[in-house]
Amino acid sequence: MKWILLTLAYCAAIQGMAQDDLMALLDDEPAKKENVYATFKGTRIILGHSVKMRKKKELELLISHRFGRINSGAHELWGLDVANIRIGLEYGVMDNLNIGVGRSSFDKSFDGFIKYKLLQQSTGPGSFPFSVVFFNSWAVRTTPQQEDDPSYDFQDRLSSASQLLIGKKISPALSLQLMPVFVHKNRVSRIDENSQFALGAGGRMKLTKSLALNLEYYYRVDAPERTEFNNSLSVGLDIETGGHVFQLHFTNSTMTLERAFVTETFGDFFEGDIHFGFNISRTFQLGGKKDETSW
C-alpha cells in the first residue's frame, strides 16, 4: 500500500510540473497581430463615408432620404412635404476595394465612386494605430437645360470630390474619424469657387448593443468671402437590426452628394434650418460569407 501511495504521489507531482511547463509555454507564446473591425457599423457616418468597407462580393442597397426644413411651418408639415432622395448600389470588388453608383433627385444627379483601403487599424506586433481609406467620387447634373444657364454644356455639369478617411476605434464604445476633402466643380456661380478644401470630423458613441450616437461636421477651410453657404453639421442615431442599418439624423444640409453638402449647405443649423432624414441600407451576400470580428 505504501508503494502504491508513493507511486500515485510521484505521478501527481509529474503531472503538476507538466501543467506548469505548458502554462509557461503559453505565456511565452508571442502575441499575434489582429485587425480591428466595426469602427463604424455603416459605410456612412451620417452624410459622408466612413472607413467601413463592404467585403468581397457584398452588395449594399442604400437609400438616403432628406425632408425639408423643420422650421418651414405647418403648411409644409414641418418639412415632411418636401423630399430629396438618393438611391445607390455599392459593391465589394475586394475586401479593400469598393465601387458604387447612385442617382439623386436634387439636381437630377448621377454619381459614382471608388473607395480603397490603404491601411487597417490593428493590435499586436507590427500594428497600425488607425485605418486610412482613399475615396473619390464623380457627379454629373442632368437638370433640364431650360432650368440652367442655356450656355451650360456637359463639361460644366461635372464635379468631383477626393477624400482621405482616417478613422480610429479608440474603445468598443468610441470611434473617431478625420476627413480632409478637396472638391472641384467645373462651373460655379458668382458666390462660389471652383475648387475648395474642407476638413471633416465625425464620431460614433455606442449606447447599447444596437444603438449608437453619431456626430459629423465639415469645416470649409478656404470658403469664399462672398458666399451664402454654411458649414455642414449633422447629428444622428444608428439602429442596427441584423442585415439592416437604420440611420436617423438631423442636419442643415439638403443634398446627399459630397460636392453639395460639403460646399453648398444653405441652412444654418443654429437658426433652425434643420432637415430630418434617414439612411436605410441592406446588404446582400453574393459569395461566401466572411466573419468580421468585433473588437
Separation CA 202–CA 188 (nearest Å):
28
Angle at the Cα of 156 (from 152 to 157), degrees rounded to 5?
A: 95
Residue 110 has pLDDT above 70, yes or no: yes
Distances (CA, A) of 278 to 42, 59, 235, 267: 13, 20, 11, 18
Give the three cell numbers for residue 248.
Answer: 436617423
The region, left, alpha or beta by phi > 0 then psi within -120 to 50, assigned to residue 77 is left
Residue 96 has pLDDT above 90, yes or no: yes
Give the three cell numbers for residue 85.
Answer: 432622395
pLDDT score, position 173:
94
Residues 6+ apart with CB under 8 A from 72: 78, 79, 82
Among residues of the chain, what percentage have pLDDT more than 90? 57
Residue 287 has pLDDT above 80, yes or no: no
Neighbour tally for 268: CB within 10 Å = 13
Q: Is the four-CA dihedral 264, 266, 269, 270 of positive or negative sign?
A: positive
Residue 61 has pLDDT above 60, yes or no: yes
Read off the pLDDT of residues 22-35 as tens digits, 9 standing for 90 and up.
455 445 556 788 99
Residues 6+ apart with CB under 8 A from 265: 229, 230, 231, 232, 252, 253, 254
> Which residues are bridge partners to 63 per DSSP?
87, 280
Global confidence as pTM: 0.83
Does residue 151 or residue 210 have the better pLDDT?
210
Distances (CA, A) of 247 to 41, 240, 274: 10, 9, 16
Residue 151 has pLDDT above 90, yes or no: no
- The answer to whether 75 touches 285, Cβ cutoff 8 Å, is no
- The answer to whether 236 touches 42, Cβ cutoff 8 Å, is no
State the average pLDDT over residues 39-64.
94
Residues 6+ apart with CB under 8 A from 240: 41, 210, 211, 212, 246
> Which residues are bridge partners to 115 per DSSP?
98, 135
Compute the half-sphere exposure of residue 288: CA atoms within 13 Å on the CB side of its CA: 4
pLDDT score, position 256:
86
Residue 207 pLDDT class (50, 70, 90 cuts): very high
